[in-house]
Chains A and B, each alone.
Chain A
Amino acid sequence: MKEKALQVLVVEDNAGDVRLLREMFKGEKQGSFELTHLLRMSEAEVHLAKGGVDITLLDMGLPDGHGLETVQRAHAAAPNVPLIVLTGLDDEALAAEAMTQGAQDYMIKGQIESRALPRALRHAIERHRMQTETDLIRTHQMEFKDEFLSHVSHELRSPLTAVRQFVSILLDGLAGELNAEQRQYLEIVLRNVKQLHSMINDLFEVSGVQAGKLKIELQCTSVSDALGYAINTLQGAAEAKGIILSSDIEDKLPSVCADPARVRQILIILVDNAIKFTPQHGTVKIHTRILEEDPAFLLLEVSDSGCGIDPDKTERIFERLFQASDPDAADHNGLGLGLYICKDLVTRQGGRIWAKSVQGQGSVFSVTLPICSLPALLAPAFREERHTERPITVVVTEIGSQTGWLSDQVRTDQCRSIRELLRGTLYSDLDILLPKMDAAGPGELFFIAAITDGIGGEAICNRIRRQLDSSERLRQAGLTHSTSYRSLEPIRQNLTESKEAFLEKVATNIQELVNEEILARQVRNG
């Protein structure tokens, strides 16, 4: 049977180097390799996104891309295509770093033996295939485990119900009076049943975390209410250990953009942990304030006077099934899932979580959550996976606070609000964006923003328009939203509208998109 030729993409702008590379394949059997040569990163991205490439040979110094960025871009355009980096002698360290960004191997120009190159390519492809296979097996194993966990936690609930029912029937004296000793022992049973129940719930939650099924409904949420709930729920447990549980909340705290049930859950996990790891007569405090470094976030801190955490482990404690190996901690029973669930919940609501601790002197767990504002409500919609079976949605907008159309408006709040929304969620570099859009599935959403602070706003917008127009695929897919002040023709014709009206329109547009997104997510979450 005739073997299929391996498709090699060479991205290299030096004609001499390309000639040399071609030479190296001359000794190979006819039809075993097929070389495609491209000069620019942007062309390579388009080519890679189309598929069919078996391996890429990538120069890290191109006219439109340099260094590790080229590796990241190639990897982003086709994550499953193995990549070998070509580099000069003086760049070996950089090339080695490229391997952490997804490159399989690197080769130093001028030191490549001609027979070695085809062999290195075959090895890289084989290594990549084995890696992919291992990853796939691991994913299947995880899926199986989560399904199993979900099933087991469900099956455990029924017998636990019976145990709980009968213990409380006995404790309530429905089967006759109990003496003090019998009562004490039954209370121990009940306490352990409750412990078991919370472990089963953790198992159930964690299978949801893995499957990405935890439902989160963002809304304006009062942290004070959630805090009151957590304190009420855990006051008894604190008192039983003689621990003083207190909270110190600033007046008029803004609401956060989060799911109230999930905020309660986060606080319960953190406060419950703090109580567990604090010895008798210690203290657990909850403190809330606006984050100084970034006033768009609220900071919640749970501090305790407990045993503290080994400084090397303040990050590892958020890993799944992580357990403190401290023998003193043996009675702090749990599955090691609480903080893992907590981290997932915080992250998915747009916040961060971290711990600081001095061993023997207690720990502080900090959580940030975005304060309720338009951008905070919108941001997740641009991060989540997109719905399918709808045309590609593109929103083009132009934003400038110092120059251009916003300069004479003192609409800084609104401008900041939109800028904030875009931060980290937009694609502004068309060289990256276009190949991605070309390869996009139906229903994907792109937000293009031309930030026109300074000079060149007009030029950028013109370039966006030209590039969008040049894509046959995009024209066919249809753009459901495309709004801009100057960059798109329909709007250009409508210059009579006021800047305020335009801003309003952009905001409405974004709001509509987000409403759709939230609705779609709710449907997906059942």
Chain B
Amino acid sequence: MDSKKILIVDDNADIRLGMHLRLKANQYETFFAADAFAAVAEARKHRPDLVILDLGLPAGDGFTVMERLKQVPFLAVIPVIVVSARDGLGNQKRAHEAGAKAFLQKPVNDAELLAVIRQALGEPAGTKKPTLYDQGSV
């Protein structure tokens, strides 16, 4: 079976690499974008199964990215998970209104992120390698 494709959008290169390592270990294929413009371009190019999206980005923020994805029919259907360091209250609501499947606050718990990804992709829970040291929220 082909592995699912995930586009990671974050302006912090370390976070992109960290997510890539974690996702690769769970048999996902990853692509990257570091700003809002590249996010839409990469989404067009790779047609990912899911987008992990930071909110604070150069060249427009995460909300702009969601808006632009919505304007293209084949991109509009891609589930988006927002992962942000921003305050959860207002942004969480706004992200859901913009169509995000989930809102996770940084520093994100990898176990939770994987669970949310599986759910958004409609995969059964527990089919992937669990993380050993990331159980429970900090």
CA distance A236 to B25 in the complex (A): 27
Task: Kindly name the residue among A159, A204, A525 whose own CB sees the greatest number of chain B CB atoms within 10 A.
Answer: A159
For the complex, count residues of A whose C-beta is within 8 A of B: 33
Task: Please report which residues of chain A, range 502-526, place their CB below 8 angstroms from some CB of chain B when the two chains form the complex.
Answer: 525-526
Task: Write the A169-189 contact mask toward B (1 if CB under 8 angstroms, else 0).
Answer: 101111100000000000100
Q: Are A165 and B22 in contact (CB under 8 A)?
A: yes
Q: Are B18 and A236 in contact (CB under 8 A)?
A: no
Q: Are A166 and B18 in contact (CB under 8 A)?
A: yes
A220 at interface, CB cutoff 8 A: no
Residues of chain A within 8 A of B106, CB atoms compared: 157-158, 160-161
CA distance A453 to B81 in the complex (A): 61
Residues of chain B within 8 A of A411, CB atoms compared: none
A15 at interface, CB cutoff 8 A: no
Q: Are A193 and B138 in contact (CB under 8 A)?
A: yes
CA distance A197 to B134 in the complex (A): 14
Task: Please report which residues of chain B, range 76-94, place their CB below 8 angstroms from some CB of chain A when the two chains form the complex.
Answer: 85-87, 89-90, 93
Residues of chain A within 8 A of B105, CB atoms compared: 157
B132 to A: closest C-beta gap in Å: 5
A194 at interface, CB cutoff 8 A: yes
Q: Are A161 and B131 in contact (CB under 8 A)?
A: no
B14 at interface, CB cutoff 8 A: yes
Residues of chain A within 8 A of B19, CB atoms compared: 165
Q: Are A157 and B107 in contact (CB under 8 A)?
A: yes
B110 at interface, CB cutoff 8 A: yes
A1 at interface, CB cutoff 8 A: no
Residues of chain A within 8 A of B41, CB atoms compared: none
B137 to A: closest C-beta gap in Å: 8
Q: From known contacts A154-B86, A157-B85, A169-B22, infer whether A162 and B15 are also in contact, taking CB-CB under 8 Å.
A: yes
B122 at interface, CB cutoff 8 A: no
B108 at interface, CB cutoff 8 A: yes
Residues of chain A within 8 A of B110, CB atoms compared: 165, 168
Give the residue name and chain of the A residue nearest to B109 (CB). A164
B110 to A: closest C-beta gap in Å: 6
A198 at interface, CB cutoff 8 A: yes
Q: From known contacts A160-B106, A161-B15, A194-B138, infer whether A172 and B25 are also in contact, taking CB-CB under 8 Å.
A: yes
Q: From known contacts A165-B15, A168-B134, infer whether A526 and B89 are also in contact, taking CB-CB under 8 Å.
A: yes
A233 at interface, CB cutoff 8 A: yes
Q: From known contacts A154-B86, A158-B12, A194-B138, infer whether A165 and B133 are also in contact, taking CB-CB under 8 Å.
A: no
B21 at interface, CB cutoff 8 A: yes
Q: Are B107 and A169 in contact (CB under 8 A)?
A: no
Residues of chain A within 8 A of B132, CB atoms compared: 171-173
Shortest beta-carbon contacts, A-B, top 9:
A165-B18, A157-B85, A162-B14, A161-B107, A171-B133, A194-B138, A161-B106, A157-B106, A526-B90
Q: 30 A-B contacts, Cβ less than 8 Å apart?
A: A157-B85, A157-B105, A157-B106, A160-B106, A161-B18, A161-B85, A161-B106, A162-B15, A162-B18, A164-B107, A165-B15, A165-B19, A165-B107, A166-B14, A168-B110, A168-B131, A169-B18, A169-B22, A171-B132, A172-B131, A172-B133, A174-B21, A190-B133, A193-B107, A194-B138, A197-B107, A204-B87, A525-B89, A526-B90, A526-B93
Q: 13 extra interchain contacts, Cβ-Cβ under 8 A, other than A160-B106, A161-B15?
A: A157-B105, A161-B108, A164-B138, A165-B19, A166-B14, A168-B110, A172-B25, A172-B134, A187-B133, A193-B138, A197-B107, A198-B138, A204-B87
